[in-house]
Amino acid sequence: MKLIKTLLAATVLAGALGGAAIAQDKVTIGVSVPAADHGWTGGVNYFAQQTIDRLSKVYPDATFVFASAADAPKQIADIEDMVSTRNIDALVILPGDPDAMTSAIKQVKDAGKFVTVVDRQLSIDGVEDLYVAGDNPGLGTNTANYFKEAMPDGGNIVVLRGLPIPIDQQRVDAFMAGIEGTNIKVLDDEFANWNRDDGFKVMQDFLTRFPDIKGVWAQDDDTAVGAIEAIKQAGREDEMFIVGGAGMQQMIQRVADGDKLMPVDVSYNPAMISTAIELTTAHAVGGVPVSGRYILESTLITQENASEFLDEESPF
Amino acid sequence: MSVSAPEVPAKPARGMRIDFKTVGPLLALVLLVLLGISLNENFLSYNNITNVLARSSFIGIIAIGATFVITAGGLDLSVGSMAAVVAGVMIIVMNALIPSMGVSVGVVLIGMLAGLAVGGAAGIGNGLMVTRGRIEAFIVTLGTMGIFRSLVTFLADGGTLSLNFNVADLYRPVYYNGILGVPWPIIVFALVAIGGEIVMRRTAFGRYCAAIGSSEQVSRYSSINVDNVRLITYIVQGILVGVAVLLYVPRLGSASSTTGVLWELEAIAAVIIGGTTLKGGYGRIWGTVVGVIILGLIGNILNLQSFISPYLNGAFQGVIIILAVLLQRGRRAA
């Protein structure tokens, strides 16, 4: 009897040791993103979770810790917890407010973790090992190029901006630089916060205020959805066109259908978080060299190439 | 609070004093309208006025419910998130019914009923926790605010819930059409306001609300069923959130985690601008209506001008709100 017990204990011990040996090869990757406070961040959350589910099957040795935070202090707390309690090997982070979070992310880096920053540039260089982002100035420039092409003789346009954060500024600056020297006149710009309801309100008031509008730059597809309803309500859909941004499926479909009101869109794909997680995992599990900067283009989506951007699965 | 207490049994001074209190918000409204006229000739156009009133009607209808809650000494911070959940559930219900019922008016009607039911149920939940659970209204509704907000994010899978395009087309006129050129949201807002004014001024329930907000203890001794009256104010609030959303959904046909963000603060601000006391005991429905219109006009005027940098919009809003309340306090003290 005693012998059996001893044997059993030995087996259990061996098993535990074996388990521990395997666990040493395992890697833990933390993924921290801002809460889904508008359509685009909603897309980020969706693609992050979808990528994690898929990679968990591909790499059984990789464990993912996912957190979604409503503000910078919560996001900082999230990554601190990931380092101290989950002992992550690598961090993929889309910082909600990059300036506020730079030092917290630097601490993760100083603790010897592999750090991937997505979409938003930190306030000091050289913190991250890998940087994956969309091209914000490019979004402004590509949009400006389309306006120049669509309005060769110039005309009046209005601009619906996003939230007052650096990304918005970069896009608007690049856009303004792009249309400089043309006869395109920006009547006014207002913040519509990348949000449908605000897009509706701001556009309604612009329509009240300006009898002659030829083009609308909404910068974001959610804003554009609201603005389009306002334009339709005023019955002025034949007078102008509107350009959004980000590449929401519903909008790409309109572009593909040749909608005159929405002739083009400019991509700024929330799936960039997937690229970041994939590369980071490949590095953490397989040691693939990935350090550097990856800038995903902000492409002009036209009726001709719209089909490449359509994805039935995407919720965004 | 103590000032208004004697009004309750002594069947209201609808005389001089109330007239003075009235002047404050009205004066602010007149000043805003004058400012608007001077900034843009289209300000008083039919289109602009109906635009502003129609899009203010959601907050307006919710604020009328909030007037009852606040008058009775309560507070409901959850209304904005509640509106988002109601909108989400309505869209899900309508989309789910299409396979069995097709695109029909029935689908829209059931969706509307579902909206009212969810709003009412949420109100019952808040009300029961406050009255039977004996938890501070601030804490209860702060909690449900978070719960509802995450719930809608969850329902929308972090993205946006969109109403089926064909049903949206059928439902659309509820926001955009109306009678004799007056859009439905404005009509409903007016009806709710008139109903609210009558209930607040002419019924025992309205007087109970003021009495409870003024002094819960005395109300109890006067054999008012304090818990039930309070519970009813939260249910009314919930149902009115439902009504507001019935008009909101046809506008854009979608709900997401950004739906109704900060509506609770706008509603409370409108109530206070209108002359209702935040601590309860005195409520004025039509003051709330003026408050809502003031808030709506501020946003409108900011969009109609380009002197004030858009970075300062919030500051302008804050100044007007404080000014509106200040005008009214000044008059009352005099």
User: What pLDDT band is residue A265 in, cutting at 50, 70 and 90?
Assistant: very high
Q: Which residues in chain A touch residue B316, judged by CB atoms under 8 angstroms apart?
A: none
* pLDDT for residue A15 is more than 90: no
User: Which chain A residue lies closest to B300 (C-alpha atoms)?
Assistant: A205
Half-sphere exposure in the Cβ direction for B210 (13 Å, CA): 25
pLDDT tens for each residue of B305-317: 877 777 787 788 8
Q: Supply φ then ψ for residue A86, to 5 degrees.
A: -105, -5
A14-134+270-297 placed in CATH 3.10.20.600:
no
Confidence (pTM): 0.79
Contacts (Cβ under 8 Å, ≥6 apart) of B128: B231
User: Which chain B residue lies closest to A39 (C-alpha atoms)?
Assistant: B159
Give the strand pairing for B160-162 and B254-256.
antiparallel
* pLDDT for residue A30 is more than 80: yes
Q: Which residues in chain B touch residue A226, judged by CB atoms under 8 angstroms apart?
A: 252
CA pair distance B20, B284, nearest whole angstrom: 13
Torsion of CA B191, B192, B198, B203, to 10 degrees: 140
Q: Does B257 sit within 8 Å of A35, measured CB to CB?
A: yes
Please list, residue by residue across B41-63, b when 16 or more beta carbons sit within 10 angstroms of its beta carbon and e when fewer do. Answer: ebbeeeebbbbbbbbbbbbbbbb
Q: Does A233 sit within 8 Å of B176, measured CB to CB?
A: yes
CA pair distance A99, A121, nearest whole angstrom: 8
User: Which chain B residue lies closest to A189 (C-alpha atoms)?
Assistant: B310
Candidates A38, A110, A32, A109; CA nearest to A73 is A32
Residues of A with CB under 8 A from a CB of B: 35-39, 41-43, 45-46, 161, 164, 188-191, 195-197, 200-202, 204-206, 208-209, 222, 225-226, 229, 233-234, 250, 315-316
Domains A14-134+270-297 and A136-266 share a fold: yes
Q: Does B303 sit within 8 Å of A35, measured CB to CB?
A: no
User: Which chain A residue lies closest to B255 (C-alpha atoms)?
Assistant: A196
pLDDT tens for each residue of A114-172: 999 998 888 888 888 999 988 889 999 999 999 999 999 999 999 999 988 778 899 99
CA pair distance B199, B206, nearest whole angstrom: 6
Q: Which two tokens stand for residue A87?
A: 């002992």
Domain ranges (residues) in chain A:
14-134+270-297, 136-266
Burial class (CB in 10 A: 0-12, 13-18, 19+), A110: exposed
- Please name the amino acid found at residue B216: E
Q: Supply φ then ψ for residue B196, to 5 degrees.
A: -60, -45
Q: Which runs of E-coded beta strand occur in A62-125?
A: 62-69, 90-93, 114-118
Q: Does A315 sit within 8 Å of B159, measured CB to CB?
A: yes
Tell me, what's the pLDDT at B334?
A: 40
Helix (H) or strand (E) holding A160: strand A155-161
CATH code at A136-266: 3.40.50.2300
User: What pLDDT band is residue B1 in, cutting at 50, 70 and 90?
Assistant: very low
Residue to mutate among B43, B175, B256, with most A CBs inside 10 A, is B256
CB atoms within 10 A of CB A261: 18
Predicted ipTM of the assembly? 0.73
pLDDT tens for each residue of A288-307: 888 888 888 888 999 989 88
Q: Which residue is listed with tokens 């209190």?
A: B21
pLDDT tens for each residue of B84-95: 999 999 999 999
Candidates A162, A169, A170; CA nearest to A222 is A162
> At A79, is the secondary structure helix, strand, or coil?
helix
B5-333 placed in CATH 1.20.120:
no
